[in-house]
Amino acid sequence: MEYSEIIDIFESHDKFLIITHKSPDGDTLGSGFGLCYFLREMGKMANVVNSDGFPDRYDFMYVDYAPQEFEPEYIIAVDVADPALMGSGLAAYQEKGVVDLCIDHHISNKHFAKLSHVEGDTAAAAHILYKIFKSSGRKISDITAKCLYTGIATDTGCFKYENTRPDTHLAAAELMAYDIDFANVNRRMFDVKSKGRIKIEQIVTGKMEYHLHDRCAMICITTELMESCGVDQAEFDGLASIPLSAEGVVIGITVKQRHERVFKISVRTTEDMDASAFCNYFGGGGHIRAAGCEIRGTLEEVKAKLLERAEQVLGK
């Protein structure tokens, strides 16, 4: 789709529902709230929804946000590659064709919406939205800019991941010109950790497993572990980078229990391995260096499946 076609959609409808993915990160929330504020600035009605709620660590993006009362006439999903990623709380929107438009940057997008705009080579969904907004010629507000900057910064690991391109930096630089206190955003996103989070990282690092001649590292987060730590569940998000931080590791796998026999898998890889292809084998997907999937079974069964596949890809 051309950006002008998306702007035409914004202009020709009045009541929008914006769907973000479960276990929300900075990009899906930055994209969701950035789009919400942009639409409201156009005089439209718009709300953002998430099946898991909005974590406190991102509250600077929605401290003044208030849901509006209306029946949506147009539904947009942002940063959602698969309808299953909407979560059980938004099951009513997961059937193919229910969502009107999906704006995403995952190469594994399943094109479940009536219309899809996917840029697999763009670092963040928030960057796509910035390009769309910029093409409209409309001014954006500081809070919109702050949301978009947060999405870009978080999905690039503060601009250190391979998905960062020259135009990523240029977009971030333009957004930094707004009154967004970008230094504080980056500090909150990348430097500040609660005591509970520090405790969690100490535990999972201490229990990290190494396989396949130390080329594969894995951490496992069970419900038992989460309950024993006595911290908010949101503190367990964003741990996927830990396994890959060990020297010599090619694939880092995080296994996080969601239900009794359901595990969320997050995979991070170096240039020697395709994370999206690895997760696609299990029905998931994502990016070349960061992807995910869901596997059912006991913890030991899930680990065995992951290691078997890793061995097939890497060799013994």
- Domain identity same for 304 and 264: yes
Write the CATH number for 225.
3.10.310.30
Residue ending a domain, choose from 190, 208, 233: 190
State yes or no: pLDDT of 315 exceeds 90.
Answer: no
177 burial via Cβ count (<10 Å: 0-12, 13-18, 19+)? exposed
146 and 294 housed in the same domain = no
Is the same domain home to 232 and 245?
Answer: yes
In angstroms, the CA 164 to CA 146 distance is 19
Q: Same domain, yes or no, for 247 and 134?
A: no
Measured CA distances, 122 to 169, 185, 279 (Å): 12, 21, 20
Instruction: For 135-182, give the DSSP string.
Output: HHT----HHHHHHHHHHHHHHTTTTTSTT--HHHHHHHHHHHTSS--H
Q: What is the pLDDT of residue 216?
A: 98
- For position 111, what pLDDT does the model report? 96
pLDDT in tens, 265-297: 999 999 889 999 999 999 998 889 999 999 999
**Based on the domain organization, do 60 and 108 belong to the same domain?**
yes
Instruction: Check whether residue 162 and residue 283 sit in a common domain.
Output: no
Domain endpoint, select from 190, 224, 256: 190
199 shares its domain with 184: no
State mean pLDDT over 202-216. 96
pLDDT digits (tens, 9 = 90+) for 221-273: 999 988 888 877 778 878 999 999 999 999 999 999 989 999 999 999 998 89
Q: How far is CA 4 from CA 135, 172, 280, in A?
A: 7, 22, 33
Per the structure, the complete domain to which residue 285 belongs is given by 195-314
| Domain stops at, among 141, 162, 190 | 190
Same-domain status, 110 and 209 = no
Summary mean pLDDT of the chain: 95
As a whole number, mean pLDDT of residues 287-309 equals 95
For residue 183, the domain's CATH number is 3.90.1640.10
Overall number of domains in the chain? 2
pTM listed for this prediction = 0.85
Q: Are residues 90 and 231 in the same domain?
A: no
Residues 186 and 214 in one domain: no
The answer on 34 and 110 residing in a single domain is yes
Q: Are residues 20 and 169 in the same domain?
A: yes
Q: Average pLDDT, stretch 145-169?
A: 96
